[in-house]
């Protein structure tokens, strides 16, 4: 194996593999031995894919030799396990799919493989992407590489942990109410949720169809932009994917924020952050100004209603989306005397408590007598929230706020569901409005009772389809603050 | 709106999830609590507001009537929890 | 007491497309079980539906044919309920904003009267898979031990068409279904074959005293697999309800199955607590906003509809119901007929030749009239010659057979063989004179008063002329000569 440093970024790796200075096979061997060394401690992967990774790497090297240009040549990829990959076990972190092997590949995954990525493994997640800590996975525990007694965030916790622990260079996550941005913040990564409809959902196991969106988790904004550019765009297999040209983002990266107005939301409650974290974010806003941005205050009167709106719409959609797990065609079945009993026993045994809670509340919100009071009212509130963002963006180019309500917390710290839901207080409104938003590392705090400093994430949000502007600005912030680059020093926490 | 009251047994029946009495109690409490929080929405004036089912404005996204390859039957049936010959087998259907 | 039946018909019609409603699997009948399936129509994790453009156009054309409105905005909704042959455990359907709204089915009865029945709704949805039930002996679900599911049919585009309860008899119900089927066939949007399940219908039946305005309790009749069984089932259910009520009982709202063999309906299940389907807009699909010009393009593509043809044939052309029926059942024959009428401007004679001689020859030879060697123009030419008395009907019949064989146009045959009929008195007189000269004693008998022998002489004259002389002319000339 060549002396390949597993900390190198995607852009760097693709250049090197394309130039032939390192082979995809060498890159992948280095990453796989890292996985073998640390994944017992981290638990990022539910299903490592050593054989497939080696076969794919050999194939990438062959394609390079034939002169093919691959924007992500040899880049090691972690795939959240709610995305289908032909011939691999795809579980959504649930007992009900524990042994299901996908017979087809998700469009987003297929596009990254076409671009030269090498799949290293299927990453852990909260069951059916429902959670903010990865603790809801029925199939494994994933730990935060920066402090193994803490959660990696969720639901894309395995994806975040894999990239943070250098068990992959980039990862795919899915974000419904914050499931990419929050774990990215917990693991000192860039986590990017594109505009709803920008990346095909075909092959993404649905949680809430009108909110789900696939996006990258990476160690740099540049890598996020490269990954996004390689998978964004209309897909004939997804009627909700948007048929609109994608302007490349990787070429739109900028070095400062001069000429940009960045809005801070007046109505967001900052008390739940606590003084120390709140201070860290104020420092981050100052840094934005220091990069040349004009900081303005904007108003989102309905922002506070995001959580309530989300916890009606998302469960309503999930209650219907998860009906198909019925023990008839695939997945778990608990045999019973008749088909109704088979359904009830199968779903009782196959789903965990959080999934059951959301199916039940969603079924309630859609049931006769409650539909208008809950589901329809939530959809109307969603309209108001989207309108507020439109108005706000008349006064600014980007909105800045926290990516999570706290840094990574310890396991079992959030026992009652609602306190867990509150983690997504700052990310849910953007999801409801379908806006592109990302989390970029913005500093460190040592949580109460904690032994080491934990990362914080700054959320930046742009109008629909303004991905180049959003990624460009995040890149400028990342370059001038350098928080992301403190990565290598810390990650030794899980070195063998 | 019918504040923080939810008939968990009825809803679980609709959703085809068997619950223990203990679960019924726990979920009734937790979901009642959540419903209490979402009741905040009644503060919003949504009378003249249109409902948003989707944030994308696309319309008429359709496909042409052209065949695409189907799946190989064995690939499909070998993952069936129970198969009989070339069919999926299910327990007695009680006309409900 | 006199009772009146109140009947509504609910049809499910599989649309005729290459592929299913939301995926690229073949939409075909009778394939090997579970071969026409993919992640989408098996409801696999992560699969998404994308609507079939042709199925949507079929719906719009059907709607226009039934005189329905095509709303500017339409959407798909999810109907949530668990059933083993429904892969996603919800059906993609249309709830409050279907592709078409309103409309009516115009239909005709055997006595030629036209009726119409308004439609409650027509909407587009996806079909389910097929379950076969084992262990009950008769293949029925009741008493079965387990079921086997084939998903080939799952996701096939399905048009649901619900009528208002405006039908009053089993005959009208069948007439309604006939017109519905003929229309969909003519639009070529479905095969509408009950035996293959591409047309499935249920009937809602209730009774009430004649003159009453409120509806009685209705039952829903299922498992009717032919128009004939629809008629029998409705009749037997009406009878059962009347007997029940007159015996002092009351009709219970329930679903009843038609038993073809026993010729009666049997209770399947009494109406369970109303379903809670939790309809909501399908977030995997975007709304449809059909543009006016697209709709007009589809409207312009509509040909004459069966009920319109029926009115034209029976009204304008004076055909009887049976004849009109023959032409509605057979579009190509109808087109042939129309060309003959246009060329001959004689519907009466066109009917005689097309539905008479030509149809007989078609049956004998197994060759369709439209494919025969006798062209519509030839038949029109023949009709003109009959009108001009150039030939008589007897010769016309033989000519039709000759044309069928391909001997050419009637004029050509007649000229070639000098078959044209002479109306020239001089020519006739020579024939008459010859015959009188050859039969002096017959002439004597006539003059002696046995006038009935004239018939024999006429026969001789016709024979001598090989049927070419006008019989009427012969009579007058003969009389003159004999007096
Ligand atoms: Mg239906
Ligand atoms: Zn299919």
Q: Which candidate, A208, A11, A14, A237, places its Cα nearest to that of A109?
A: A237
Whether chain C has a CB inside 8 Å of the CB on B75: the answer is: no
Most B CBs within 10 A among A101, A360, A366, hence the mutation to make, goes to A360
For residue range C368-382, list pLDDT tens digits in order: 999 999 999 999 999
The C-alpha of B41 sits at a distance from chain A's nearest C-alpha, in angstroms, of 7
Question: Which residues of chain B are within 8 Å of residue C286 when distances are taken between CB atoms?
Answer: 54, 56, 58-61
pLDDT in tens, A298-333: 999 999 999 999 999 999 999 999 999 999 999 999
- A240 CB neighbours in chain B (<8 A) are 54, 56, 58, 61
CA distance linking residue C202 with residue C221, whole number of Å: 5
At residue B87, φ and ψ (nearest 5 deg) are -120, 160
- pLDDT tens-place string over residues A40-80: 999 999 999 999 999 999 999 999 999 999 999 999 999 99
Name the closest residue on chain B to residue C32, using Cα atoms: B86
pLDDT at A410: 97
**Structure tokens, C34:** 């579970």
Specify the pLDDT at position B36. 94
Q: What span, in angstroms and rounded, lies between the C-alpha atoms of A127 and A119? A: 21
Assess C131–A contact: CB distance below 8 Å, yes or no. Answer: no
Query: Subunits that touch chain C (at least 3 Cβ pairs < 8 angstroms)?
Result: A, B
Q: How confident is the model at residue A1 (pLDDT cuts 50, 70, 90)?
A: very low
- pLDDT tens, position by position, A159-211: 999 999 999 999 999 999 999 999 999 999 999 999 999 999 999 999 999 99
Contact C355, C323 (CB under 8 A): yes
Instruction: Please list every residue in chain A whose beta carbon sits closer than 8 Å to the beta carbon of residue C80.
Output: 319-320, 323, 366
Residues of C in contact with B77 (CB under 8 A): 34
CB pair distance less than 8 Å for C287 and B77: no
Contact yes or no for B77 and C34 at CB 8 A: yes
- Identify the pLDDT of residue C465: 78
C202 three-state secondary structure: strand
Q: Which of C45, C48, C149 sits opposite A90 (nearest CB)?
A: C45
Q: Would you call B95 an interface residue with chain A, using a CB distance cutoff of 8 Å?
A: no
Residue A114 has pLDDT above 70, yes or no: yes
pLDDT category of residue B82 using cuts at 50, 70 and 90? very high
Structure tokens of B69? 């390859």
pLDDT of A489 = 47
Banded pLDDT at A131 (limits 50, 70, 90): very high
Of A100, A357, A363, the CB nearest to B14: A363
Is B16 in Cβ contact with A330 (below 8 Å)? no
What percent of chain A lies above the pLDDT cut of 70?
97
Determine contact, residues A134/A183, Cβ cutoff 8 Å.
Answer: yes
Going by pLDDT thresholds of 50, 70 and 90, the confidence category of residue C235 is very high
Task: Tell me the mean pLDDT in the region A348-353.
Answer: 98
Look at the block and give the residue holding tokens 């390859």: B69
Does pLDDT of A495 surpass 70? no
Interval C157-167: pLDDT, tens: 999 999 999 99
Mark yes or no for CB contact C34/B64 under 8 Å. Answer: no
DSSP states along C308-334:
HHHHIIIIIS---HHHHHHHHH-HHHH
Q: Residue A320 and residue C49: Cβ atoms within 8 Å?
A: no
The first and second tokens of residue B26, run together, are 């726990």
Of A23, A133, A137, A155, which residue is the catalytic one?
A: A155
pLDDT of residue B5: 82
pLDDT 10s digits, C45-104? 999 999 999 999 999 999 999 999 999 999 999 999 999 999 999 999 999 999 999 999
Predicted ipTM of the assembly: 0.96
Residue C89 and residue A326: Cβ atoms within 8 Å? yes
Our answer to whether residue A33 is catalytic in this structure is no
pLDDT exceeds cutoff 50 at C450: yes
Whether A283 is catalytic: no
Chain C residue numbers with beta carbons less than 8 Å from the beta carbon of A367 are: 276, 278
When pLDDT is averaged across residues A108-126 and rounded to a whole number, the result is 98
Nearest residue, CB atoms, A239 vs list C42, C49, C147: C49
The pLDDT of residue C417 is above 80: no
A401 vs C267, which has greater pLDDT?
A401
Percent of all residues in chain C with a pLDDT value above 90, rounded to a whole number: 72
Neighbours of chain B (3+ CB pairs under 8 A): A, C
Closest CA to A238 of A275, A201, A203: A201
What's the mean per-residue pLDDT of chain C?
92
How far C359 CA lies from chain A's nearest CA (Å)? 51
Terminal Cα distance for chain A, rounded: 19
In the predicted model, what is the mean pLDDT of residues B26-36? 95
pLDDT average, residue stretch A253-272: 95
Is A155 considered catalytic here? Answer: yes
Quick: pLDDT tens for C246-265: 999 999 999 999 999 999 99
Averaged pLDDT of chain A: 96
pTM for the model:
0.91
pLDDT at A487: 60
Residue A194 and residue A431: Cα distance in Å, rounded? 10
Pick B89's closest partner by Cβ from C50, C146, C276.
C146
Smallest CA–CA separation between B8 and chain C, in Å? 15
In this complex, do A360 and B11 lie within 8 Å of one another by their Cβ atoms? yes
Expressed in angstroms and rounded, the spacing between residue C13 Cα and the centre of ligand 1 is: 10
Q: Please judge whether A363 and C278 are an interchain contact, meaning their C-beta atoms are less than 8 angstroms apart.
A: yes
User: Model confidence over C166-216: pLDDT tens digits?
Assistant: 999 999 999 999 999 999 999 999 999 999 999 999 999 999 999 999 999
For chain A, list the contacting chains (3+ Cβ pairs, <8 Å).
B, C
Distance CA A432, CA B96 (A): 38
Exposed / middle / buried, residue C68 (Cβ in 10 Å: 0-12, 13-18, 19+):
buried
The share of chain A scoring above pLDDT 90, in percent, equals: 95
């Amino acid at each position: 194996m060549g002396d390949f440093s597993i900390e190198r970024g995607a852009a760097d790796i693709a250049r090197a593999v394309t130039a032939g200075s390192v082979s995809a096979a060498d890159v992948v061997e280095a990453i796989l031995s890292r996985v073998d060394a640390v994944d017992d401690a981290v638990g990022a992967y539910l299903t490592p894919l050593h054989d497939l990774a080696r076969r794919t790497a050999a194939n990438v090297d062959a394609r390079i030799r034939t002169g093919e240009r691959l924007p992500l040549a040899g880049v090691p990829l972690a795939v959240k396990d709610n995305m289908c990959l032909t011939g691999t076990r795809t579980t959504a972190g649930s007992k009900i799919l524990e042994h299901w092997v996908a017979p087809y590949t998700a469009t987003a995954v297929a596009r990254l493989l076409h671009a030269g990525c090498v799949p290293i493994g299927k990453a852990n997640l909260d069951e059916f992407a429902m959670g903010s800590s990865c603790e809801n996975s029925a199939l494994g525990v994933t730990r935060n590489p920066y402090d193994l007694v803490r959660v990696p965030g969720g639901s894309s916790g395995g994806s975040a942990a894999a990239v943070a622990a250098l068990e992959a260079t980039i990862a795919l996550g899915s974000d419904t109410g914050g499931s990419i941005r929050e774990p990215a913040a917990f693991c000192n990564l860039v986590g990017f949720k594109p505009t709803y409809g920008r990346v095909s959902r075909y092959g993404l196991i649905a949680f809430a169809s009108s909110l789900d969106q696939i996006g990258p988790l990476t160690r740099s904004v540049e890598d996020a932009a490269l990954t996004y550019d390689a998978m964004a765009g209309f897909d004939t297999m997804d009627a909700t994917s948007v048929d609109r040209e994608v302007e490349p983002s990787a070429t739109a990266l900028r070095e400062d924020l001069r000429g940009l107005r960045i809005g801070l939301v007046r109505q967001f409650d900052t008390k739940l952050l606590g003084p120390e974290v709140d201070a860290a974010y104020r420092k981050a806003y100052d840094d934005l100004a220091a990069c040349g941005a004009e900081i303005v205050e904007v108003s989102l009167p309905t922002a506070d209603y995001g959580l309530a709106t989300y916890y009606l719409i998302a469960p309503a959609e999930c209650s219907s989306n998860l009906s198909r797990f019925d023990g008839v065609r695939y997945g778990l079945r608990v045999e019973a005397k008749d088909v109704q009993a088979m359904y009830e026993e199968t779903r009782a045994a196959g789903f965990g408590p959080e999934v059951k809670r959301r199916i039940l509340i969603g079924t309630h919100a859609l049931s006769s007598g409650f539909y208008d009071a809950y589901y329809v009212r939530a959809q109307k509130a969603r309209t108001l929230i989207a309108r507020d963002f439109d108005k706000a963006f008349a006064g600014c180019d980007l909105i800045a706020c926290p990516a999570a309500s706290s840094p990574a917390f310890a396991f079992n710290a959030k026992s009652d569901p609602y306190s867990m839901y509150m983690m997504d207080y700052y990310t849910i409104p953007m999801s409801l409005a379908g806006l592109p938003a990302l989390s970029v590392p913005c500093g460190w705090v040592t949580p109460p009772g904690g032994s080491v400093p934990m990362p914080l994430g700054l959320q930046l949000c742009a109008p629909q389809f303004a991905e180049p502007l959003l990624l460009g600005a995040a890149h400028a912030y990342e370059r001038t603050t350098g928080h992301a680059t403190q990565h290598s020093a810390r990650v030794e926490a899980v070195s063998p | 709106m019918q504040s923080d009251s939810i008939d968990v047994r009825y809803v679980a029946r609709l959703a085809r999830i068997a619950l223990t009495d203990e679960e019924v109690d726990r979920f009734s409490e937790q979901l009642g609590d959540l419903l209490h929080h979402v009741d905040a929405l009644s503060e919003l004036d949504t009378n003249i507001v249109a409902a948003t089912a989707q944030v994308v404005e696309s319309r008429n996204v359709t496909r042409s009537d052209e065949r695409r390859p189907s799946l190989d039957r064995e690939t499909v049936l070998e993952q069936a929890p129970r198969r009989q010959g070339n069919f999926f087998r299910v327990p007695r259907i009680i006309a409900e | 007491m006199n009772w009146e039946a109140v009947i509504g018909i609910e049809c499910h019609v599989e649309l005729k497309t290459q592929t299913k409603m939301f995926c690229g699997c073949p939409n075909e009948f009778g394939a090997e079980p579970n071969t026409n399936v993919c992640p989408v129509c098996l409801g696999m994790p992560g699969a998404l539906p994308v609507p079939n453009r042709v199925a949507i156009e079929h719906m719009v054309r059907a709607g226009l044919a039934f005189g329905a409105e095509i709303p500017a905005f339409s959407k798909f909704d999810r109907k949530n309920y668990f059933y083993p042959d429904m892969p996603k455990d919800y059906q993609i359907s249309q709830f409050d904003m279907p592709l078409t709204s309103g409309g009516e089915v115009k239909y005709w009865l055997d006595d030629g009267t036209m009726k119409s029945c308004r439609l409650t709704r027509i909407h587009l949805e996806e079909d389910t898979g097929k379950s076969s039930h084992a262990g009950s002996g008769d293949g029925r679900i009741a008493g079965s031990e387990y079921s086997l599911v084939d998903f080939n049919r799952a996701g096939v585009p399905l048009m649901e068409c619900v009528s208002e309860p405006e039908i009053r008899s089993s005959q009208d119900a069948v007439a309604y279904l006939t017109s519905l089927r003929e229309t969909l066939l003519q639009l070529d949007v479905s095969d509408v074959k009950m035996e293959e399940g591409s047309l499935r219908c249920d009937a809602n039946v209730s009774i009430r005293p004649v003159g009453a305005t409120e509806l009685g309790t209705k039952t829903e009749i299922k498992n009717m697999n032919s128009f004939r069984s629809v008629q029998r089932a409705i009749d037997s259910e009406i009878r059962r309800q009347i007997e029940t009520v007159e015996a002092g009982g009351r009709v219970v709202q329930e679903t009843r199955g038609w038993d073809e063999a026993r010729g009666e309906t049997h209770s399947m299940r009494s109406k369970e607590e109303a379903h809670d389907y939790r309809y909501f807009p399908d977030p995997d699909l975007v709304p449809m906003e059909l543009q006016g010009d697209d709709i007009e393009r589809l409207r312009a593509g509509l040909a004459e509809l069966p009920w319109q043809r029926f009115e034209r044939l029976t009204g304008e052309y004076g055909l009887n119901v049976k004849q009109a029926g023959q032409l509605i059942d057979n579009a190509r024959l109808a087109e042939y007929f129309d060309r003959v009428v246009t060329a001959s401007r004689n519907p009466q004679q066109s009917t005689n030749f097309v539905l008479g001689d030509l149809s007989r020859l078609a049956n004998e030879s197994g060759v369709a009239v439209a494919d025969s060697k006798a062209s519509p123009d030839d038949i029109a030419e023949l009709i003109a010659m009959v009108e001009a008395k150039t030939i008589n009907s007897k010769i016309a019949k033989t000519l039709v057979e000759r044309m069928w064989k391909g001997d050419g146009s009637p004029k050509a045959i007649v000229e070639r063989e000098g078959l044209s009929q002479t109306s020239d008195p001089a020519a006739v007189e020579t024939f008459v004179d010859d015959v009188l000269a050859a039969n002096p004693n017959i002439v004597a008998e006539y003059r002696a008063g046995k006038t009935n022998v004239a018939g024999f002489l006429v026969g001789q004259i016709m024979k001598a002329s090989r049927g070419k002389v006008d019989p009427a002319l012969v009579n007058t000339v003969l009389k003159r000569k004999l007096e």
